[in-house]
Amino acid sequence: MLTFSCAGPLAAQVVPDAATLYQRHCASCHDGGNERAPSHEALRTMSAERVLAAMETGSMITMANNRSAAERRLIAEFLSGKTFSNDLVTKPSPQAMCPATGADFDPASGPQWTGWGANTSNNRFQDTAAAGIAAADVPRLQLKWAFGFPGDLQSHAQAAIAGGRVFVGSWGGKVYSLSAASGCIHWFFEAAAAVRSAVSIGRIGAGSTARYAAFFGDGTATAYAVDATTGTLLWKTKVDDFPVARVTGSPRFHNGRLYVPLASGEEAAGALPIYECCRFRGSIVALDAATGKQIWKTYTIEEPKPTKKNKVGIQLWGPSGAPVWSSPTIDEKNNALLVTTGNNYSDPPSSMSDAFVAMDLDTGKILWARQMTAADAYTAACRLPDKTNCADSNGPDFDFSSPPILVTLPDGRRALVAGQKSGIVHAIDPDRRGETLWQVRVAQGGTMGGIQWGSAADGSNVYVAVSDIGRIMLTYSNNTDADPKRGGGIVALRLESGERIWYAPPPGCGNRRRCSPAQSAAVSAIPGVVFSGSVDGHMRAYSTTDGKILWDFDTIRSYQTVNSVPGQGGSLDGPGAAIGGGMVFFNSGYPTAGGMPGNVLLAFSVDGK
């Protein structure tokens, strides 16, 4: 077994030289006498292809999945001392492009699922007419086409549907506009870094200058608007200058403005004892959707100040953190933007971490906040042997990565519902400053959830998938693998009371490698059916009546893709299914925290037609 270590977070796609990459990410193990990491001399006896295979499909996946395709190839050539026989090609071939028609893109020409939650309420629910699929059709879903992301090890940006097209970002930084019917490429756009956010579609301008734009954000905290018809850049705006700031949650388009949530990678970076932890501040930025100019920016935390020095003499700062990982929800009745926040990174803990927060849509003024877990300051150091930069409060890392869902209850009251990594589902009253309506525990909770990327709600119930990934520390790395026997399941709760209607346990991993039964991915629903993906590689459809599995597709396989890129399925985590126009689209491939790599977007229809 070939094992070596090249870990570390990917920021922007500026590729250092090979020697720098090796020293920064690999030398500590390969030159440090680690018995599980072959020496540089031993690796020079291998081909570049074999070293790359270890990083992409072998024992090295956990450590290498945060390196870009170009970086992995540079490292492989440096370690082996040999070059690849074939160049890496990521530009789509002419054969993958759609025939030119000259027709403008019109989102009104078909059903839509844009942004993260399908609508401004973030309920991840599509009615039968827009879905084009009834509950009785679901057992007949078959693969219609697969699209491959070249050079990528993960497929972690949710698809958006509008006007007969599918819009999707990628780890490699490309954003694609595809034909929903065939998967051919209308256009592609190169962002500066990985695009994890779902694409939102909105109309900007007026009169002869009016057009539809596609909005998204990337791993360098840059927001973009491109022409939805052609992919031409309209504007891009750097919404935060902090070095590891990023846009993970999907920007929300509403009434001519774009609301962009800001998160960061400082929870991981802050684990190093020599790092001045921590100074990132979560925020929402409101931009003019036509120009990209900032209208307001509201932070979820006050300006960090020097606090004390750690045991190796490095200055520490606080408070910090409270990132916004998910897409905002719009409350038109109260003219409010509703978000959930993450944990603090350093002491002192603040009052708006792990919280629901309401902001005025026009000004960004904070209207109210309701914290669900206090004193939650956490960095990755808190789970590592060297806890130098773990805050004294040593919080449980119970942030929200699920967006709030705004629903109307049968009695006319409204509720804001979200699951937390604590394993608790909360329902609060948005008309009474976040007053608690009910709280129900459905999972054990943990640093990977609990409840991770989001739930779905129809008029009666909220459907909550359980993550509860068990993290197994690796003795030769700061990374973790997943426990194949822990996590998973899905539960239905009554919206008005939190009463449990049913629970469906996870089927289990069996003997599959790099497997977890955890159901961390966002949930999606249509009348009678709820879709939930699993780290075990399966997408399953459950009856909303009793939780019975109606359809089960195992994505772990190779695919002949419509763009002729070698395709491989993997774990399902992060994004959920997007449903519309008689089709279901979802990603496969998510090696983080012990999952299986993959690089495909899969499209399903009834009988594959």
Is 34 a residue whose pLDDT tops 60? no
For the stretch 568-592, what's the b/e string if a residue is b when 16 or more beta carbons lie within 10 angstroms of its beta carbon?
Answer: bbbbbbbbbbbbbbbbbbbbbbbbb
The answer to whether residues 455 and 417 touch, using CB atoms and an 8 Å cutoff, is: yes
Ranges for all domains in the chain classified under CATH 2.40.128.630: 191-400
**What band does 364 get if pLDDT is binned at 50, 70 and 90?**
very high
- Where is average pLDDT lowest: 58-72, 277-291, 418-432, 531-545? 58-72
Three-state helix/strand/coil letters over 285-303: EEEECCCCCEEEEEECCCC
**What band does 21 get if pLDDT is binned at 50, 70 and 90?**
confident
- Where is average pLDDT lowest: 163-167, 307-311, 415-419, 509-513? 509-513
- Where is average pLDDT lowest: 41-45, 180-184, 438-442, 536-540? 41-45
Q: Which pTM value belongs to this model?
A: 0.91
CATH node for 119-158+402-609: 2.140.10.10
State the pLDDT at residue 14. Answer: 47
User: How large a percentage of the chain has pLDDT more than 70?
Assistant: 91
What is the pairing mode between strands 141-148 and 558-560? unpaired
Cβ neighbours of 319 (radius 10 Å): 26
Q: What is the DSSP string of 502-552?
A: EEE-----TT-TT------SPPEEETTEEEEE-TTSEEEEEETTT--EEEE
Nearest-angstrom CA–CA distance, 537 and 547: 19
Sheet holding 366-371, edge to edge: 329-331, 336-340, 355-360, 366-371
271 alpha carbon, distance to own chain's centre? 22
The answer to whether residues 471 and 482 touch, using CB atoms and an 8 Å cutoff, is: yes
SS3 at position 330: strand
For the stretch 427-444, what's the b/e string if a residue is b when 16 or more beta carbons lie within 10 angstroms of its beta carbon?
Answer: bbbbeeebeebbebebbe
Query: What residues have CB less than 8 Å from 213, skipping those under 6 apart?
Result: 201, 202, 203, 204, 225, 226, 227, 228, 234, 289
**What band does 58 get if pLDDT is binned at 50, 70 and 90?**
low
Nearest-angstrom CA–CA distance, 397 and 343: 6
Nearest-angstrom CA–CA distance, 29 and 301: 38
Is 313 a residue whose pLDDT tops 70? yes
Nearest-angstrom CA–CA distance, 299 and 405: 22
Among the listed residues 9, 2, 1, the one whose alpha carbon sits nearest the alpha carbon of residue 592: 9
State the pLDDT at residue 62. Answer: 62
Nearest-angstrom CA–CA distance, 100 and 602: 24
Higher-confidence position of 27 and 577: 577
- Where is average pLDDT lowest: 5-19, 328-342, 469-483, 519-533? 5-19
State the pLDDT at residue 128. Answer: 97
Note the helical H segments in 424-532. none
**What band does 76 get if pLDDT is binned at 50, 70 and 90?**
confident
State the pLDDT at residue 16. Answer: 65
Structure tokens, 253: 């388009």
- Where is average pLDDT lowest: 62-66, 92-96, 323-327, 478-482? 62-66
Class of 191-400 in CATH: mainly beta
Ranges for all domains in the chain classified under CATH 1.10.760: 18-80
Query: What confidence tens digit (pLDDT) does each residue in 489-541 have?
Result: 999 999 999 999 999 999 999 889 889 999 999 999 999 999 999 999 999 99
Residue type, 416: L
List % helix, strand, coil for the chain (3-state, nearest 5): 10, 35, 55
Nearest-angstrom CA–CA distance, 289 and 212: 11
State the pLDDT at residue 52. Answer: 75
State the pLDDT at residue 26. Answer: 73
Among the listed residues 288, 286, 260, the one whose alpha carbon sits nearest the alpha carbon of residue 360: 286
Length of the chain: 609
Structure tokens, 204: 């900007």
Structure tokens, 518: 């955890």
State the pLDDT at residue 258. Answer: 98
Higher-confidence position of 367 and 449: 367
SS3 at position 557: coil
Is 13 a residue whose pLDDT tops 50? no
Radius of gyration (Cα) for the chain, nearest Å? 23
Structure tokens, 177: 């506009």
The answer to whether residues 403 and 451 touch, using CB atoms and an 8 Å cutoff, is: no
Alpha-carbon torsion angle 17, 20, 21, 23, nearest 10: 160
**What band does 7 get if pLDDT is binned at 50, 70 and 90?**
very low
The answer to whether residues 482 and 470 touch, using CB atoms and an 8 Å cutoff, is: yes
pLDDT, mean of residues 272-282 = 96
Query: What residues have CB less than 8 Å from 58, skipping those under 6 apart?
Result: 1, 2
Ranges for all domains in the chain classified under CATH 2.140.10.10: 119-158+402-609
* Average model confidence (pLDDT) across the chain: 91
Alpha-carbon torsion angle 430, 253, 165, 568, nearest 10: -70
Class of 18-80 in CATH: mainly alpha
Among the listed residues 202, 244, 254, 192, the one whose alpha carbon sits nearest the alpha carbon of residue 223: 192
**What band does 23 get if pLDDT is binned at 50, 70 and 90?**
confident
Nearest-angstrom CA–CA distance, 603 and 584: 6
Distances 569 to 115, 465, 558 between C-alpha atoms, Å: 24, 21, 6
**What band does 77 get if pLDDT is binned at 50, 70 and 90?**
confident
State the pLDDT at residue 51. Answer: 74
State the pLDDT at residue 33. Answer: 58
Cα four-point dihedral sign 412, 410, 113, 506: positive
Is 139 a residue whose pLDDT tops 80? yes
**What band does 476 get if pLDDT is binned at 50, 70 and 90?**
low
SS3 at position 585: strand
Among the listed residues 200, 156, 257, the one whose alpha carbon sits nearest the alpha carbon of residue 575: 156
- Using a CB cutoff of 8 Å and minimum separation of 24, what contacts does 280-283 make? 280/242, 280/244, 280/245, 280/320, 280/321, 280/323, 280/345, 281/242, 281/320, 281/321, 281/322, 282/321, 282/322, 282/323, 282/324, 282/341, 282/342, 283/240, 283/324
Cα angle 75-3-155, degrees, rounded to a multiple of 5 = 65
Is 349 a residue whose pLDDT tops 60? yes
Distances 166 to 235, 258, 567 between C-alpha atoms, Å: 21, 20, 18
Is 174 a residue whose pLDDT tops 80? yes
